[in-house]
Amino acid sequence: MVKTCITCKKEMPSECFGVNKSNKDGYRGECKECIALRNKRYYKLVRFGTEEEREQYFRGDKMLDERQLRVCQLLSIGTSIIDIAEEIGISRQTVYDWKKQDEMKARLEELGQELILSTKRAVVGYGPYAVAMLKDLAENAESEKVRLEAICKLLDKVISNAVKIELSNGNDDQDSISQDLLNEELNEFDNA
Ligand SMILES: [Zn+2]
């Protein structure tokens, strides 16, 4: 099967994409290379970036407006379309339409990846941007349901993952990034 990466727009065989069971075709929208590049950018930013650069990264450099960014945040933590429409004050159809846009898809991939990376890395001292995002939602979302959801996600993702990593001694489950892989990636960055 040939698939087009939503970031670099190159066509390539499906082996070039990571697995994501929640996607229709079973693969991530972004190719492995693009993900690796962004991860590298993320490390660099966390280590050497200015506050302003981090802020910009966190907001995303895609051409999306405030409401669309907000929708991405909410989608990335699994908020339902109905709740999103209510929270943002738009129709459900608008949420569906936005979801189909490439820019939105790319931002969602980014946030999903960020959520994985920063929750895993929170325990080894990396800047938890996804955590900041969840905290923002927990404190500032209009609807109580969304606030509650964000708080639950925070507790669930961040704290339980942190504990899991501490306890697992590298015997991580399939979905999580193992300590070895993390070290490997960090070395790779150091040598870059
Ligand atoms: Zn790509």
CA-based nearest residue to 181, from 173, 111, 74, 160? 173
- Structural domain contains residue 29: no
pTM score, two decimals?
A: 0.51
* Ligand 1 centroid – CA 9 distance (Å): 6
* Ligand 1 centroid – CA 108 distance (Å): 15
Distances (CA, A) of 172 to 132, 150, 175: 24, 24, 8
* Ligand 1 centroid – CA 5 distance (Å): 5
- Structural domain contains residue 69: yes
Q: Domains in the chain: how many in total?
A: 1
Instruction: Tell me what pLDDT residue 183 has.
Output: 55
* Ligand 1 centroid – CA 117 distance (Å): 18
- Structural domain contains residue 19: no
- Structural domain contains residue 55: yes
Structural domain boundaries, residue 78: 50-191
Instruction: Tell me what pLDDT residue 31 has.
Output: 92
Residue whose tokens read 């991405």 = 72
- Structural domain contains residue 94: yes
- Structural domain contains residue 117: yes
* Ligand 1 centroid – CA 121 distance (Å): 24
Instruction: Tell me what pLDDT residue 12 has.
Output: 96
* Ligand 1 centroid – CA 185 distance (Å): 19
Mean per-residue pLDDT pooled into runs of 10, the chain (192 residues): 90 92 83 86 75 69 80 84 93 94 82 64 47 77 85 69 52 44 52 48
* Ligand 1 centroid – CA 17 distance (Å): 9
Distances (CA, A) of 60 to 29, 120, 178: 17, 20, 26
* Ligand 1 centroid – CA 129 distance (Å): 23
- Structural domain contains residue 140: yes
Instruction: Tell me what pLDDT residue 10 has.
Output: 94
- Structural domain contains residue 11: no
Spell out the residues 6+ positions from residue 15 whose beta carbon is closer than 8 angstroms to its own.
Answer: none
Q: Tokens for 83, please give them.
A: 């709740």
* Ligand 1 centroid – CA 41 distance (Å): 15
Instruction: Tell me what pLDDT residue 167 has.
Output: 55
* Ligand 1 centroid – CA 12 distance (Å): 9
* Ligand 1 centroid – CA 85 distance (Å): 30
